[in-house]
Amino acid sequence: MRAKTHTQSAVLAFVERFCTGNGCSPTLREISKQFGWGGTRATERHLLALEKKGWISRAPGRARGIRVNGGG
């Protein structure tokens, strides 16, 4: 797996904590709210980068379809 940026690491850590605490992955809006981003575009970009680097998998068309592939 390729290296993550600081923000990507923070997003991945949040997704992992959310999954552990809630039994499902967060939505784009929940991630955006956590980081204080006004919309979901930044979240989408970070998740796409994490997916390309092999850290997560995403189920198309599912709001809670993020799966962590490796330890953050």
Domains and CATH numbers, the chain: 6-68 (1.10.10.10)
DSSP E strand stretches across the chain: 56-58, 66-68
- The CB density around residue 56, as the number of other CB atoms within 10 Å, is 25
- In a structure prediction context, what are the per-residue pLDDT tens digits for the chain, which is 72 residues long? 889 999 999 999 999 999 999 999 999 999 999 999 999 999 999 999 999 999 999 999 999 999 999 754
Q: How far apart are CA 2 and CA 22, in angstroms?
A: 28
- The CB density around residue 21, as the number of other CB atoms within 10 Å, is 8
Question: What is the pLDDT at residue 1?
Answer: 80
Q: Are 4 and 55 in contact (CB under 8 A)?
A: yes
Q: pLDDT digit string (tens) for 40-56?
A: 999 999 999 999 999 99
